[in-house]
Amino acid sequence: MIGSPTARTDELGALAQLGVTELRSAVSGLGAMHRSVAGTVFGALRPVLGSAIDSPRMVHDAVTDGAYLSMDALLDTASSAADAMPASTFAVSQTPHGAVALGVLNGLIGDDLDAADSPLAARMSIRSAGRPIPVRPAAIADEFSDARGHVVVFLHGLMESEQAWTIGGRPSYGHRLSADISAGEVQIRYNSGRHISQNGLDLADLLADLVLLWPVPVSRLTLIGHSMGGLVIRSACHHATERGDWWPRLVTETVCLGTPHLGAPLERGVHVLSSMLQPLSATRPISNLLRRRSAGVRDLFHGNLTAADWAEQDRDAWQHPPGADVPLLSTARHLFVTATMTRNPAHPLGRLIGDGLVLAPSGRGEPTRSRLGLRFSDGLDLGGAHHFTLLNNDDIYAWLLAQLRPRRALPSAPPDR
C-alpha cells in the first residue's frame, strides 16, 4: 500500500519511502513463491522417502524463515531511516533524468501514486525545461511572450515525459515547428498510469484555460500525441465536445504517432499471462505482480477512452468488452503515423510485430469501427522503425511540416461579365 499517515511530501523522501515499500513487497512475494515451491518439492519426495524427509524440511524451513526475518528487520531499519530523512526541496521531477525515471514510475503505478496523493504522481501540466508553468495569465504571458496564433500541443505516451520528444539529443518537433512556421510549442506532462478518460478530462480543462489565457487570439490548434498521448487527445476532444467547450472548434489537426486506437497486443498478452498464473500458488506472486499494472496500461487492452468503458468492470476478468464508440472530432483533419520494424511495411513479419508495441492496423484504426474514420491519404507508414523512432525522426518531421505548413488560399474565380 502506497501512502501512510506519515507519507513524505518531498520528492526525494517519497522516493526513499517508495523504494523500501516496493522492496518489502518484492521480498514478501519471493518468500511466498519460495515456500510454495519448497512445499511442492518436499510433498513430492515424502511418498518416496517417508519420514526421512522431515528433518531436512525442518532445517530448510528454519534457515529460510530466519533469512526472511533478517531481511524484514533490515527493511524495518531502512524504513525508519527513510522516514527520518530531512525534507528536501530538490525537485527530482524537474531534472531530465528524474523526469524520465518518474515517467516510467507513473506509467507502472501512477494510479496508486495518484490515489495516495504522492508528490511523485505527475499532474497534468504545461512544462518548460522541466518546470511546471502555472496556468495563470501572468505566467502564460511571461512564458509565451512571443506567442503566435497557431498553437501546437504535444502529449507524450505511456511511461514517458515531455523529455521523450528530444530522444537522440535532437531538437523536438515543436522546437523545429516554432522556427519553420512560427507555431507556438506547448509541452504537456501527465500521469500515464491514470485512466485515459481521467487524463482526457484534465486535458480538456487545461486546453480550455490555455486558449482563454493565450497572449494572442488562438486561430489554430494542433494536437500531437505519441502512443497513449493520441488516445488522451481523442478522449479530451470527446469530453470537450460533450460539454460544449469552445476550443474544439479551433482544432484544425490531430496527429497520432503510433497510437493503439484498437488496443495493444502486449497488454492483452500480459492480461492472459496473469490470469493463467493466478490459480497456482507457486506462480501466484508473479501473477499478483503483473496485476499491479496501472489503470492506464489496462486501458490499452481495447484503447478505452471513456469512464463507462472501465467503471463497474472486473479488471481481472478473462474477457473485456470493447469500449464505447467515440467518433473523431468532425471539424478537424486527423493525421497519423504508423511504423514497422521491417523496411517493407507490408512484409508478413512487419504485420506481425508492427513497431514492437503497436501493430500498424491498430495505428490506422483497422478494422474500422464507426468511431474512427482515419483516411489513408492522411497517414504515413514508416518502415525500418520502432515505436520510439516516432518521437523524433527527420522523415516524420518533413511529412509533418508539409501537413502543417500554412496553405495559400486558391485564387477566387473572376467575376462573370
Measured in Å, how far apart are the chain's first and last C-alpha atoms? 80
Q: What is the pTM of this model?
A: 0.86
Q: Cβ distance 204 to 236 under 8 Å?
A: yes
Condensed to tens digits (0 to 9), the pLDDT of residues 362-373 reads 999 886 554 567
C-alpha to C-alpha distance for 114 and 119, rounded to whole angstroms: 9
Give the phi and the psi of residue 391 in degrees, each rounded to 5. Answer: -70, -30
Name the pLDDT band for 408 (thresholds 50, 70, 90): low
For 208-221, what is the mean pLDDT?
97
Amino acid at 2: I
Condensed to tens digits (0 to 9), the pLDDT of residues 12-58 reads 888 888 777 777 776 676 767 667 676 767 677 778 777 777 777 77
Cα 411 to Cα 219, 342, 415, distances in angstroms: 22, 44, 12
Name the pLDDT band for 350 (thresholds 50, 70, 90): confident
